C-alpha cells in the first residue's frame, strides 16, 4: 500500500465529510421542481443579527406563491423552532401575476429568496435552528412539499463571515423587499361597492413620478380579487378599479403592494375623510350591525353611570333635585342631558376633525393631554373642598355640581362626560372602535348614543314619578352625604395626580400637589374678614392656576430631554414595552404572547392590573408557560399603539390580547379574572 | 398624457364570471353523473345541496380524501338528507379527467359517500358556479339560495394533519342552516389546485 494511495483516500474521505455533512443535516433539499437552500453566513459574529435567505430554485414554467397566492395555490409556510434564537416573520420579495388557465396566481418563477432576520439571544457556541417548511409548486398541476431544514453555524467573536457570492445574493434579494414607509405615496379610497373597489394613487415625493405606471397587488386575497385592476389616469393621479369577490365584507384595513419598476412599497389604503367605506354601510348586514353598535353604545353609556369616576358627580346631581318641583326637576334633567350630548358631540367632532387630519387617536384622547388632566385635578379638588364646606360659593354663583340651577345642570352634564373618559366600561370598546373607522355621520351617532346612555338614568328618574318616589326624602342627611362624597372625589384627585406624574415625571407630581396646597390655602384665606386678604386670596388662586398651566410645557420639555422613563407603568417581572417586531419574532418561534393595552388614566386597566395581571399567581402562570408579556402604554399619545389597537377594531383601552403559540390573536374580555388567565393554558391539554 | 400610453399595458381582460354568490339563487344546471343519470338542481328543491369541486389528482383533494375527512362529511350529511354532489370539471386531457366508467371506479376506490359524481368536462357547471379550485365548496339551501361559497376549511395547508385543528366552514354552514340559525361565514377565499378547465 503506497503512501500516495493513503493520501488519496484521506483526501477523498475528508471531501466526503466536508461536502456531505451539510446534506445529511438537511441544510438544503431537492424536491420535485424545486431546490431549496439557505443563504447564510459561514460563521456567525457573536451577538449580531443577520439577514438569512431561504432560496427556492424553481424549474422553468413552474412557480411558487406570494403571501397572497391569488385565485388558487398557497404561500409557503415557515415554522421555525430553535433555542436561544429569534427568527423574524418572512420578508416577501416583489412577486408578479402569473396567469394559469383562467386563473391568476401571484408568485415567483425561476428563483426567489425569502429573507429572515435572525438574532441569536445568548452567547453560545453555535446558532442552531430548524425550519418546518411547507410549500406548493405548480405549473398547471400542483405538487406540495413538506420538509425539515436545519441551519447550524459556529459563533465567532469577530464579525460574521460571509462568502462573497452569498453576501451578494442577500444584498440583491434585499433590494426586492418592499419598503414600508408611507411618505412616498398617497393611496386613497374613492369608492367601495359589492363588486368593486376604486382607489386613487398619487405620488408624494418630488423625486418620483407616476411613470412607469405603478402596479397594485392586494396583500390580502380574502377581500380583493387578484386580477389586474382597470387603470385610468391623468397627470398627477391614477385610478385603479379592482373587482371584489362576492360576500366577503370589508376588512379593517385594505393593504396593497405598490410596485414601480424594481421597487415596491407596502401601503395601507387611507380612508377618505368623512367618506370612509361608505359603500360598506349600505348592505343590510352592515346596517344591522350599525344598529347593534348604537345599542351597545347606549348600554355602555348607561353602565358608565355606575363607574367610580362618574358616580360621585351624579350622586350630587341627584341630591340637588330631591328638593325641587316636578317642572324644575324635568327641566334640570333635560339640561343635564343637553350638557352630556353637547359635550359628546363636541368630543366626537374634535375626534373626526383630528382623524381627517390624519392623527392617530382614540377614546380617552382628551386624557392624553396633561392640560386636561391638570384642569380635572383642580376641578375635582375644588369640588371636594366645596363638599367639605371649606368654602361656599355665594348665593349668586353656582355650586359647580350641586345646586339646582340651569347653568349648573348643563355643566354637570359636561363634567360627567369628562370624568367618564377614563372608565371604558363593558360594551363601549366595540362601539368606540367602530366609531373610529365609520364615516362621519354614523360615528357621531355612536358618540351621541353613548351620551344618551349616560344621561338616560337621570332623565328617567326625573320624569317617571313612581321612580322618583323611591328616592329618599330630603333632610339633614344630605349635608352629611355631601361631605362624605368629597372623599371619593379626593380619591379621584389622588389618582389624577398619579396620572399627571406619569405624564410629566416626578416634577409633575410635585407641581400638581403644590398647586393643590396653594389653592386650598387661597380658598381658606377667602373666608377672612379683611378685604385685602380676600383680594390676596383671589390673586393667589389665579396665579396658582395660571402658573400651573404655564409650567406644563417646561416640565414636558425637561422630561423629554432627560428621557425619563414611565417608571410607574413599566412594571415588575416580565413586562416589556410594546414592540410589534418582538411579537412577530416570538410568534415565529412558537412562543405565546400576552399584550396588555393600558393607560394610567384608565381605571378599569389599573384594576385589572392590580387584581389580576400583576398578581404573583398570574405572573407564575405566565412564567411557567414562557409567555412573552408586553405592555402597550397609551397614557400619552402613541400612534404605534393606536395603530395596533386599530388592527383589532379597537380604539380604547383596556384591550387584552393573547396569542396562543403561533395561533391568531384572541381578545379577552375587558374585565379580567385570574381563572380566565388560568383557562388560557389549561384548556390546551 | 404620457401616462395613458402605459395604460393599455395594465387593462387586463377582466372576464366577468358568472358566479354562485351567497345570498343569491344558485345557478341551475342539468348534467350527467358517472352513474349515467341526469341531475338537475331543480330535482333537489326542498333539500340542502352541497357542491364539491373534485379532481382526484389534486393534492388538496387528496388531503381531504386521503384522511377520510371528505367521506366522513359526506356520510354524516347525506345521512341527514343532504344531497352531496362531487363535480369533476377537469377537461379531457387535463389533470383529473375521468370518463364515466373510471369516475365510478375512482369513487368506489375512494369510498366516496357522495350522492353522485357529476361529470362536467366542458366546464359549463364549473364556470356557472365560478369554481376556481378543487376543492371549492358551495352550500345551497332548500329554497335554492347559495348560503356558503368558498374553502372547505380555514387551513390552506396541504398537510392532512392540520384538519383536526381546522374550522370546517361547510359543516358549520350546514349545522347552522339546518337549525335555522344564522350562518356566520358565508364566503371565503377557496384554496387548492386551480380547476382544470379546457384552455
Q: A197-238, pLDDT tens digit by residue?
A: 889 998 888 888 888 889 999 998 888 999 999 998 877 889
Q: Are residues A423 and A448 in the same domain?
A: yes
What CATH number does the domain containing A229 carry? Answer: 2.60.40
What CATH number does the domain containing A145 carry? Answer: 2.60.40.1250
Q: What pLDDT score does A566 carry?
A: 40
Residue pair A104/A96 in contact by the 8 Å Cβ criterion: no
Domain housing B137? 47-194
- For residue B186, the distance in angstroms to the closest alpha carbon of chain A comes to 7
Q: Which region, left, alpha or beta, applies to residue A275 given φ > 0 means left and ψ of -120 to 50 means alpha?
A: alpha
Please name the residue of chain A whose CA is at the shortest distance from the CA of residue B126: A102
Nearest C-alpha neighbor of A499 from the set A347, A380, A649, A645:
A380
Cα A140 from Cα B94, distance rounded (Å): 9
Q: Is residue A177 one of the residues assigned to a domain?
A: no
Q: How confident is the model at residue A562 (pLDDT cuts 50, 70, 90)?
A: very low
Q: What pLDDT score does A13 carry?
A: 46
Least confident of A185-194, A276-285, A346-355, A631-640: A276-285
Q: Is residue B6 one of the residues assigned to a domain?
A: no
Cα A604 from Cα A608, distance rounded (Å): 6
B41, pLDDT greater than 70? yes
Number of domains forming the structure of chain A: 5
Q: Is residue B135 one of the residues assigned to a domain?
A: yes
A23, pLDDT greater than 50? no
Q: What pLDDT score does A662 carry?
A: 61
Q: Is residue A630 one of the residues assigned to a domain?
A: yes
Q: Are residues A258 and A315 in the same domain?
A: no
* Helix A477-504 vs helix A311-321: crossing angle, to nearest 10: 150
**Max avg pLDDT among A133-147, A365-379, B84-98:** B84-98
Q: Is residue A568 one of the residues assigned to a domain?
A: no
**Max avg pLDDT among A424-438, A641-655, B151-165:** B151-165
Contacts for A512 with CB less than 8 Å, ≥ 6 apart = A374, A377, A497, A500, A501, A548
Least confident of A44-53, A327-336, A563-572: A563-572
Contacts for A541 with CB less than 8 Å, ≥ 6 apart = A518, A519, A522, A523, A526
pLDDT tens digits along A386-404: 778 777 654 333 344 444 4
Q: What long-range pairs does A673-678 form, CB within 8 A, spacing at least 24? A: A673/A612, A674/A612, A674/A615, A674/A617, A674/A618, A676/A612, A677/A612, A677/A613, A677/A618, A677/A621, A677/A622, A678/A621
Inspect the interface and report whether the beta carbons of A101 and B188 lie closer than 8 Å: no
* Mean pLDDT for the stretch of residues A244-269: 84
The last residue of one of the domains, among A433, A461, A490, is A490
Kindly give the residue spans of alpha helices, DSSP state H, lying in A563-638. Answer: 580-588, 603-608, 616-624
Inspect the interface and report whether the beta carbons of B14 and A243 lie closer than 8 Å: yes
pLDDT tens digits along A45-84: 887 888 999 999 999 999 999 999 999 889 999 988 887 7
Q: What pLDDT score does A282 carry?
A: 34
Q: Are residues A403 and A458 in the same domain?
A: yes
- For residue B132, the distance in angstroms to the closest alpha carbon of chain A comes to 7
Q: What pLDDT score does A292 carry?
A: 77
The last residue of one of the domains, among A172, A197, A214, is A172
Q: Is residue A48 one of the residues assigned to a domain?
A: yes
Average pLDDT, chain A: 78
What CATH number does the domain containing B180 carry? Answer: 3.40.30.10
Q: What pLDDT score does A444 carry?
A: 85
Q: Are residues A301 and A416 in the same domain?
A: yes
Residue A51 DSSP code: E
Q: What pLDDT score does B3 carry?
A: 38
Inspect the interface and report whether the beta carbons of B186 and A247 lie closer than 8 Å: yes
Question: Which residues of chain A approach chain B closer than 8 Å at the C-beta?
Answer: 69, 71-74, 77, 100-103, 105, 134, 136, 138, 140-144, 146, 210-213, 215, 221-222, 227-235, 238, 243, 245-248
Q: What pLDDT score does A285 carry?
A: 37
Nearest C-alpha neighbor of A351 from the set A337, A339, A334, A368:
A368
Q: Is residue A279 one of the residues assigned to a domain?
A: no
Q: Are residues A149 and A29 in the same domain?
A: yes
- For residue B147, the distance in angstroms to the closest alpha carbon of chain A comes to 10
Number of domains forming the structure of chain B: 1
For residue A578 the three cell numbers come to 410594546
Q: Are residues A194 and A45 in the same domain?
A: no
Inspect the interface and report whether the beta carbons of B188 and A243 lie closer than 8 Å: no
For residue A567 the three cell numbers come to 417608571
Q: How confident is the model at residue A640 (pLDDT cuts 50, 70, 90)?
A: confident
Inspect the interface and report whether the beta carbons of A74 and B191 lie closer than 8 Å: yes
Least confident of A119-123, A259-263, A421-425: A421-425
Chain B residues closer than 8 Å to A246 by CB? 19, 21-22, 149, 187
- For residue A101, the distance in angstroms to the closest alpha carbon of chain B comes to 6
A619, pLDDT greater than 50? yes
Q: How many residues does chain B have?
A: 199
Residue pair A224/A216 in contact by the 8 Å Cβ criterion: no
* Mean pLDDT for the stretch of residues A254-269: 89
Picking from A146, A227, A232, the nearest residue to B12 by CB comes out as A227
Q: Is residue B183 one of the residues assigned to a domain?
A: yes
pLDDT tens digits along B132-175: 999 999 999 999 999 999 999 999 998 899 999 999 999 999 99
Domain housing A220? 185-270
Q: What pLDDT score does A466 carry?
A: 76
Q: How many CB pairs under 8 A join A and B?
A: 113
Inspect the interface and report whether the beta carbons of B3 and A134 lie closer than 8 Å: no
Interface mutation target, options A231, A286, A684, chain B, most CBs of B under 10 Å = A231
Contacts for A93 with CB less than 8 Å, ≥ 6 apart = A108, A112, A113, A114, A115, A173, A176, A177
Cα A203 from Cα A210, distance rounded (Å): 7
pLDDT tens digits along A507-561: 788 888 888 998 888 888 887 778 888 888 888 888 888 888 888 777 766 554 4
Q: Is residue B189 one of the residues assigned to a domain?
A: yes
Q: Are residues A168 and A222 in the same domain?
A: no
Q: Are residues A298 and A372 in the same domain?
A: yes
Q: What pLDDT score does B54 carry?
A: 96
**pTM score, whole prediction:** 0.54
Q: Give the dihedral sign, CA A83/A89/A94/A100.
A: positive
Q: Is residue B108 one of the residues assigned to a domain?
A: yes
Q: What pLDDT score does A433 carry?
A: 66
Chain B residues closer than 8 Å to A72 by CB? 132-133, 190-194
Q: What pLDDT score does A564 carry?
A: 37
Q: Are residues A166 and A200 in the same domain?
A: no
Q: Are residues A358 and A477 in the same domain?
A: yes
Q: What pLDDT score does B1 carry?
A: 35
Q: Is residue B171 one of the residues assigned to a domain?
A: yes
Q: Cα A642–A224–B12 angle (5° rounding)?
A: 135
Interface mutation target, options B158, B182, B199, chain A, most CBs of A under 10 Å = B158
- Count Cα neighbours of A576 within 13 Å in the Cβ-side half-sphere: 10
Q: How confident is the model at residue A24 (pLDDT cuts 50, 70, 90)?
A: very low
Number of C-beta neighbours around residue A396 at 10 A: 5
Q: Are residues A402 and A304 in the same domain?
A: yes
Q: What pLDDT score does A530 carry?
A: 82
Q: Are residues A247 and A330 in the same domain?
A: no
The last residue of one of the domains, among A490, A523, A548, is A490
Amino acid at each position: 500500500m503506497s503512501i500516495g494511495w493513503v493520501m488519496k483516500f484521506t483526501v477523498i474521505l475528508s471531501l466526503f465529510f466536508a461536502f456531505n455533512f451539510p446534506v445529511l443535516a438537511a441544510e438544503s433539499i431537492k424536491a420535485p421542481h424545486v431546490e431549496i437552500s439557505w443563504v447564510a453566513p459561514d460563521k456567525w459574529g457573536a451577538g449580531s443579527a443577520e439577514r438569512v435567505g431561504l432560496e427556492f430554485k424553481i424549474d422553468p414554467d413552474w412557480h411558487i406563491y406570494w403571501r397572497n397566492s391569488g385565485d388558487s395555490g398557497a404561500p409557503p409556510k415557515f415554522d421555525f423552532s430553535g433555542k436561544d434564537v429569534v427568527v423574524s416573520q418572512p420578508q416577501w420579495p416583489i412577486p408578479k401575476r402569473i396567469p394559469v388557465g383562467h386563473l391568476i396566481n401571484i408568485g415567483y418563477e425561476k428563483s426567489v429568496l425569502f429573507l429572515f432576520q435572525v438574532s441569536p439571544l445568548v452567547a453560545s457556541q453555535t446558532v442552531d435552528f430548524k425550519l418546518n417548511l411547507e410549500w406548493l409548486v405548480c405549473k398547471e398541476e400542483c405538487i406540495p412539499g413538506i420538509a425539515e431544514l436545519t441551519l447550524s453555524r459556529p459563533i465567532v467573536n469577530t464579525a460574521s463571515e460571509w462568502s462573497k457570492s452569498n453576501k451578494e445574493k442577500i444584498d440583491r434579494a434585499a433590494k426586492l423587499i418592499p419598503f414600508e414607509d408611507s411618505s412616498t405615496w398617497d393611496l386613497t379610497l374613492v369608492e367601495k361597492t359589492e363588486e368593486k373597489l376604486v382607489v386613487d394613487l398619487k405620488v408624494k415625493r418630488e423625486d418620483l413620478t407616476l411613470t412607469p405606471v405603478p402596479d397594485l397587488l392586494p396583500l390580502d386575497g380574502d377581500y380583493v380579487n387578484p386580477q389586474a385592476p382597470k387603470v385610468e389616469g391623468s397627470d398627477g393621479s391614477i385610478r385603479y378599479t379592482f373587482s371584489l369577490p362576492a360576500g366577503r365584507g370589508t376588512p379593517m384595513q385594505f393593504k396593497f403592494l405598490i410596485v414601480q419598476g424594481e421597487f415596491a412599497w407596502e401601503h395601507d389604503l387611507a380612508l377618505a375623510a368623512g367618506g370612509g367605506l361608505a359603500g360598506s354601510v349600505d348592505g343590510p348586514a352592515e346596517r344591522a350591525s350599525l344598529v347593534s353598535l348604537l345599542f351597545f353604545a347606549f348600554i355602555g353609556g348607561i353602565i358608565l353611570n355606575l363607574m367610580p369616576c362618574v358616580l360621585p358627580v351624579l350622586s350630587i346631581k341627584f341630591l340637588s333635585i330631591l328638593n325641587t318641583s316636578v317642572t324644575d326637576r324635568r327641566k334640570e334633567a333635560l339640561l343635564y342631558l343637553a350638557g352630556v350630548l353637547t359635550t359628546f358631540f363636541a368630543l366626537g367632532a374634535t375626534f373626526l376633525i383630528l382623524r381627517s387630519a390624519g392623527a392617530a387617536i382614540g377614546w380617552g384622547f382628551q386624557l392624553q393631554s396633561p392640560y386636561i388632566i391638570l384642569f380635572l385635578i383642580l376641578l375635582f379638588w375644588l369640588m371636594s373642598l366645596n363638599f367639605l364646606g371649606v368654602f361656599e360659593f355665594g348665593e349668586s354663583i353656582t355650586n359647580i355640581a350641586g345646586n339646582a340651577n340651569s347653568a349648573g345642570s348643563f355643566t354637570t352634564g359636561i363634567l360627567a362626560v369628562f370624568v367618564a373618559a377614563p372608565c371604558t366600561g363593558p360594551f363601549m370598546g366595540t362601539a368606540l372602535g367602530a366609531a373610529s373607522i365609520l364615516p362621519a355621520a354614523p360615528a357621531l351617532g355612536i358618540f351621541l348614543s353613548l351620551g344618551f346612555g349616560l344621561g338616560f338614568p337621570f332623565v328617567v328618574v326625573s320624569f317617571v314619578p313612581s321612580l322618583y318616589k323611591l328616592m329618599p326624602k330630603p333632610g339633614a342627611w344630605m349635608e352629611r352625604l355631601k361631605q362624605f362624597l368629597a372623599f371619593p372625589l379626593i380619591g379621584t384627585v389622588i389618582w389624577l395626580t398619579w396620572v399627571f406624574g406619569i405624564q410629566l415625571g416626578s416634577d409633575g407630581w410635585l407641581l400638581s400637589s403644590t398647586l393643590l396646597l396653594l389653592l386650598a390655602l387661597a380658598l381658606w384665606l377667602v373666608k377672612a374678614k379683611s378685604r385685602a386678604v380676600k383680594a390676596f386670596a383671589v390673586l393667589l388662586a389665579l396665579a396658582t392656576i395660571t402658573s400651573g398651566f404655564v409650567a406644563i410645557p417646561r416640565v414636558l420639555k425637561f422630561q423629554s430631554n432627560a428621557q425619563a422613563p414611565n417608571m410607574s407603568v413599566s412594571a415588575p417581572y416580565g413586562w416589556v414595552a410594546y414592540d410589534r417586531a418582538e411579537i412577530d419574532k416570538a410568534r415565529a418561534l412558537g412562543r405565546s404572547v400576552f399584550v396588555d393595552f393600558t393607560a394610567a388614566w384608565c381605571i378599569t386597566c389599573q384594576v385589572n392590573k392590580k387584581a389580576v395581571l400583576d398578581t404573583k399567581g398570574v405572573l407564575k402562570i405566565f412564567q411557567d408557560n414562557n409567555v412573552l408579556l408586553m405592555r402597550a402604554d397609551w397614557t400619552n399619545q402613541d400612534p404605534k399603539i393606536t395603530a395596533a389597537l386599530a388592527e383589532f377594531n379597537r380604539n380604547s383601552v383596556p384591550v387584552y390580547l393573547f396569542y396562543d403559540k403561533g395561533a391568531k390573536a384572541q381578545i379577552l374580555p375587558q374585565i379580567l379574572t385570574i381563572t380566565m388567565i388560568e383557562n388560557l393554558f389549561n384548556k390546551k391539554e | 398624457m404620457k401616462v395613458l400610453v402605459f395604460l393599455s399595458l395594465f387593462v387586463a381582460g377582466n372576464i366577468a364570471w358568472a358566479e354562485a354568490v351567497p345570498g343569491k339563487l344558485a345557478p341551475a344546471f342539468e348534467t350527467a353523473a358517472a352513474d349515467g343519470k341526469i341531475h338537475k338542481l331543480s330535482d333537489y328543491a326542498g333539500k340542502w345541496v352541497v357542491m364539491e369541486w373534485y379532481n382526484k389528482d389534486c393534492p388538496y383533494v387528496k388531503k381531504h380524501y386521503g384522511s377520510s375527512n371528505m367521506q366522513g362529511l359526506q356520510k354524516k350529511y347525506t345521512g341527514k338528507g343532504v344531497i352531496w354532489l362531487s363535480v369533476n370539471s377537469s377537461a379531457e386531457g387535463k389533470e383529473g379527467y375521468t370518463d364515466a366508467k373510471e369516475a365510478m371506479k375512482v369513487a368506489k376506490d375512494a369510498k366516496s359517500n357522495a350522492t353522485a359524481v357529476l361529470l362536467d368536462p366542458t366546464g359549463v357547471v364549473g364556470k356557472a358556479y365560478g369554481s376556481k379550485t378543487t376543492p371549492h365548496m358551495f352550500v345551497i339551501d332548500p329554497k335554492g339560495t347559495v348560503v356558503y361559497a368558498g374553502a372547505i376549511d380555514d387551513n390552506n395547508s396541504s398537510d392532512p394533519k392540520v384538519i383536526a385543528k381546522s374550522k370546517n366552514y361547510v359543516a358549520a354552514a350546514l349545522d347552522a342552516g339546518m337549525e335555522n340559525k344564522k350562518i356566520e361565514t358565508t364566503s371565503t377565499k377557496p384554496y387548492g389546485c386551480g380547476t382544470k378547465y379546457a384552455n
